[in-house]
């Protein structure tokens, strides 16, 4: 236990150092997303949901690129779905802006090989740690995270993805309760080590309903877990209208190569949409220099502002 006066002293010190332009957490590397979230805050669980094909794994690796390769902040990427080599290849592609399939096949043009020669040392020297075991229990994850924090001072952990984690090895009769237990453990883990845990999650098939407006995901679409919204401090979705053959919004804005990062829950800030561009050939998410009128049009057509209301 701590006396309240000690906590107040710590809070006052942070208030004194704060400024209107300063984020409260680690920058995501995307200005529009930072405007909503205030960055990734220590001690929090952030869930990123998305249907298959939306690019949530690629988006997570783009965040890792911005945080660790561009800003030298130690991170751990735990993938229960991909191999170490596939994760590395995708990270190379989105960092150096080279075609992912061309990279896998060794079919790059001269300009891309030049990018590789110049850029690979920067990636190799970044404080990025990968763990891609084929089977994973929540106890394994907790142990790996603890070791990464103690040995490498990791500040943010990405886990891809929730539905592949088990409480223990073997068959479970109640998967729903098991996943609830897992999300609670992950939230406690983030608090214990004062880090940010970014958890990827699949969505159920409700998002595919043709009656849904632009198939836009909502909190109830999170698959298999009733407490994931309760345990998560932030819940956001990766949504590409183009995937559903929607090429214009209601304002007539072009939705080709556009990804909406929909922040639907945020205990520490605002909810709303961050509009990014995406190049799926290189698995790269990026911001374009759109003018304010264009940005307002893109989001107002969806009835959600770039910065919405506090949760």
For 211, residues 6+ apart whose C-beta sits below 8 A from its C-beta are none
Distance from first CA to last CA of the chain, Å, rounded?
29
Q: What is the pLDDT of residue 297?
A: 41
- Those residues whose C-beta lies under 8 Å from the C-beta of residue 23, and which sit 6 or more positions away, are 34, 38, 39
Q: Which domains does the chain have, with CATH numbers?
A: 25-300 (3.40.50.300)
> Burial letters for 49-87: b for 16+ Cβ neighbours within 10 Å, e otherwise?
bbbeebbbbbbbbbbbbbbbbeeebbbbbbbbebeeeeb
Give the Cα separation of 221 and 238 in Å (integer). 13
- pLDDT at position 244: 87
| pLDDT at residue number 58 | 96
Q: What does the pLDDT read at residue 101?
A: 92
CB 98 within 8 A of CB 123: no
Q: pTM for this structure?
A: 0.86
Residue 4 has what pLDDT?
Answer: 83
What values do phi and psi take at 114, rounded to 5? -65, -40
CB atoms within 10 A of CB 210: 6
Whose tokens are 């763990």? That residue is: 131
Chunk the chain into consecutive blocks of 10 residues (it has 311) and report each block's average pLDDT, rounded to whole numbers.
78 65 88 94 96 93 97 96 92 95 90 93 95 85 96 97 84 80 95 97 78 80 78 95 86 89 92 94 86 42 35 30
Write down the pLDDT at residue 7.
Answer: 77
pLDDT at 310: 33
The pLDDT, as a whole number, for residue 261 is 97
Provide the pLDDT for residue 304. Answer: 36
């Amino acid at each position: 236990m701590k006396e309240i006066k000690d906590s107040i002293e710590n809070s006052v010190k942070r208030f004194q150092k704060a400024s209107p332009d300063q984020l409260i957490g680690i920058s995501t590397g995307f200005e529009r997303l930072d405007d909503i979230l205030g960055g990734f805050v220590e001690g929090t669980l952030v869930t990123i949901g998305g249907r298959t094909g939306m690019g949530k794994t690629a988006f997570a690796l783009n965040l890792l690129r911005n945080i660790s390769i561009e800003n030298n902040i130690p991170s751990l990427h735990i993938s229960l779905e991909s191999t170490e080599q596939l994760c590395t290849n995708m990270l190379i592609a989105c960092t150096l802006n080279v075609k992912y399939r061309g990279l896998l096949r060794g079919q790059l043009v001269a300009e891309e090989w030049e990018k590789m020669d110049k850029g690979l040392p920067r990636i190799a020297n970044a404080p990025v740690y990968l763990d891609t075991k084929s089977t994973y229990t929540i106890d394994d994850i907790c142990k790996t995270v603890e070791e990464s924090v103690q040995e490498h001072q990791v500040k943010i952990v990405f886990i891809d993805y929730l539905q592949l984690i088990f409480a223990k090895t073997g068959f479970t009769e109640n998967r729903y309760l098991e996943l609830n237990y897992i999300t609670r453990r992950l939230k406690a883990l983030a608090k214990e080590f004062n880090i940010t845990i970014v958890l990827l999650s699949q969505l159920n098939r409700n998002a595919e309903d043709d009656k849904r407006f632009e198939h836009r995901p909502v909190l109830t679409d999170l698959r298999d877990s009733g407490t994931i919204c309760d345990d998560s401090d932030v819940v956001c979705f990766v949504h590409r209208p183009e995937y559903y053959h929607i090429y214009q919004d209601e304002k007539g804005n072009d939705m080709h190569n556009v990804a909406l990062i929909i922040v639907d829950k945020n205990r520490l800030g605002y909810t709303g949409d961050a509009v990014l561009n995406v190049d799926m050939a290189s698995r790269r998410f990026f911001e374009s220099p759109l003018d304010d009128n264009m940005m307002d049009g893109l989001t107002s057509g969806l009835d959600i502002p770039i910065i919405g209301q506090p949760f």
